[in-house]
A = this chain, B = another copy of it.
Amino acid sequence: MRISNYLLATLKEAPAEAAIDSHKLMIRAGMVRKLASGVYTWLPTGKRILKKVEDIVRREMDATGALEFLATMVQPAELWVESQRYNSYGDNLLKFKDRKQSDFVLGPTHEEVFTYQIKQEVNSYRQLPLNAYQIQTKFRDETRPRFGILRTREFIMMDAYSFDTSWQNMEKVYNSMEQAYNKIFTECGLKFRAVDADNGSMGGSGSKEFQVLAQAGEDVIAYCENSDYAANLEKAPAIPSSTRQAPTQEMRKVATPNVATIEELVDFSKGELDAAHTIKLVVVNGKTQEHPLVAIALRGDHTLNEVKAEKHPLIASPVTLAHPELVNQVFGAKVGSLGVLNCPVYLIADDTAATVSDFATGANETNFHLYGVNWDRDAKFNETFDIRNAEEGDPSPCGKGVLSLTRGCECGHIFMLGDKYSRAFNFTVTDENGQNIYPVMGCYGIGVTRVVAAAIEQNHDEYGCTLPDALVPFLVGLIPVNYNKSEVVKEFVDNLYNELPKQHEVYFDDRSERLGVALADADLLGVPYQFIIGEKNLQQGNVEFKDRRTGEKQLLTIEQAKEKAKTLLANYQA
Q: Is A139 an interface residue (CB 8 A)?
A: yes
Does A72 lie within 8 Å of B113, measured CB to CB?
Answer: no
Q: How far is the CB of A27 from chain B (nearest CB, A)?
A: 11
Q: Which residue of B lies closest to A67 (CB)?
A: B44
The complex places the Cα of A70 from the Cα of B5 at a distance, in Å, of 18
With both beta carbons as reference points, the residue of chain B lying nearest to A2 in the complex is identified as B65
**A425 within 8 Å of B (CB atoms):** no
Please state if A67 and B36 are interface contacts (CB–CB under 8 Å). Answer: no
Select one of B9, B48, B68, B127 contacting A44, CB under 8 A: B68
Return chain B residues, CB-CB under 8 Å to A36.
74-76, 102, 104
In the complex, the answer to whether B33 meets A50 with C-beta atoms within 8 Å is no
The answer to whether B94 touches A69, judged by C-beta atoms less than 8 angstroms apart, is no
Chain B residues with Cβ below 8 Å from A91 are 99
A74 touches B33 (CB 8 A): no
Q: Is A329 an interface residue (CB 8 A)?
A: no
Collect the chain B residues with CB atoms within 8 Å of residue A72's CB.
Answer: 35, 39-41, 137, 154
Number of chain A residues close to chain B: CB under 8 A:
56
Max count, chain B CB within 10 A of own CB: residue among A43, A122, A139: A43
Complex Cα spacing A121 to B102, Å: 40
A113 B41 Cβ-Cβ under 8 A: yes
Residue A120, interface by CB 8 Å: yes
Q: What are the 8 closest A-B residue pairs judged by CB atoms, nearest first?
A: A96-B96, A42-B70, A44-B67, A36-B76, A72-B154, A91-B99, A41-B71, A9-B121
Residue of B nearest to A449 (CB): B70
Chain B residues lying within 8 Å of A572, measured Cβ to Cβ, are: none
Q: A35-B116, A47-B70, A50-B70 are in contact. List 9 more A-B contacts (CB 8 A).
A: A7-B67, A35-B71, A35-B76, A36-B74, A39-B74, A41-B69, A41-B113, A42-B69, A46-B70
Pairwise interchain contact A143-B7, C-beta atoms closer than 8 A: no
User: Interface residues of A: mostly helix, strand, loop or mixed?
Assistant: mixed
Q: Is A373 an interface residue (CB 8 A)?
A: no
Tell yes or no: A172 within 8 A of B by CB.
Answer: no
Give A14-33 interface residues, CB cut-off 8 Å to B. 30, 33
Residue numbers in B under 8 Å from A117 (CB-CB): 33, 35, 41, 43
Query: A160 at the A/B interface (Cβ < 8 Å)?
Result: no
Assembly CA distance A98 to B95 (angstroms): 9
Contact status of A41 and B62, CB under 8 A, knowing A36-B76, A76-B36, A96-B96: no
- Interface check A437, CB cutoff 8 A: no
A181 to B130, CA, bound (A): 38
0/1 interface trace, chain A 64-92, chain B, CB 8 Å (1 if under):
01011111111110000000000000010
Give the distance to chain B from A32, nearest Cβ to Cβ, in Å.
9
Give residues of chain A (301-333) contacting chain B, Cβ–Cβ below 8 Å.
none
**Also in contact, A35 and B75, with CB within 8 A (given A47-B68, A47-B69, A121-B9):** yes
- With both beta carbons as reference points, the residue of chain B lying nearest to A62 in the complex is identified as B504
- The chain A residues found within 8 Å of chain B, CB to CB, are 5-7, 9, 30, 33, 35-37, 39-44, 46-48, 50-51, 62, 65, 67-76, 91, 94, 96, 98-99, 102, 104, 106, 113, 116-117, 120-122, 127, 130, 132, 137, 139, 141, 143, 153-154, 504
Q: Is A139 in contact with B74, judged by CB distance below 8 angstroms?
A: yes
**A40: B residues at CB distance < 8 A:** 72
Bound CA span A160–B46, Å: 17
Q: How far is the CA of A35 from the CA of B80 in the complex (A)?
A: 13
A108 to B337, CA, bound (A): 63
- How far apart are A325's CB and chain B's nearest CB, in angstroms? 34
Which residues in B have their C-beta under 8 angstroms from that of A71? 35, 41-42
Q: Please name all residues of chain B whose beta carbon is closer than 8 Å to the beta carbon of A69 when the two chains form the complex.
A: 41-44, 47
Q: Please give the distance in Å from A133's CB to the nearest CB on chain B.
A: 10
A selection of 10 A-B contacts at a CB cut-off of 8 Å is A7-B122, A7-B127, A35-B71, A39-B75, A39-B76, A42-B70, A43-B121, A62-B504, A72-B154, A94-B98
A47 surroundings in chain B (CB, below 8 A): 68-70
Q: Quick one: closest B residue to A139, CB to CB?
A: B74
**Which residue on chain B has the smallest CB distance to residue A96?**
B96
User: B74, A106: Cβ atoms under 8 Å?
Assistant: yes
- Chain B residue numbers with a CB within 8 Å of A39 are 72, 74-76
Cβ-defined contact, B153 with A74, below 8 A: yes
Least CB distance from A59 to B in Å reads 11
- Name the distance in Å between A11's Cβ and chain B's nearest Cβ: 10
Bound-state Cα–Cα, A307 to B165, Å: 60
Which residues of chain B have C-beta atoms less than 8 A from A113's C-beta? 35, 41
User: Known contacts A33-B120, A120-B33; is A130 also within 8 Å of B70 by CB?
Assistant: no
Residue of B62, B73, B121 touching A73 (CB-CB under 8 A): B73
A43, closest chain B residue (CB): B69
The answer to whether residues A121 and B76 also contact, given A70-B42, A98-B94, A141-B98 and a CB cut-off of 8 A, is no
Interface centre among A69, A74, A104, A121 (most CB of B within 10 A): A74
Q: What distance in Å separates the Cβ of A513 from its nearest Cβ neighbour in chain B?
A: 11
Please name all residues of chain B whose beta carbon is closer than 8 Å to the beta carbon of A102 when the two chains form the complex.
36-37
Find out whether the CB atom of A121 lies under 8 angstroms from the CB atom of B7: yes
Nearest CB to that of A91 among chain B residues?
B99
For the complex formed, measure the closest distance between the CB of A62 and the CB atoms of chain B, giving whole angstroms: 7
Q: Which residues of B contact A143 (CB under 8 A)?
A: 99
Residues in chain B near residue A6, CB distance under 8 A: 67
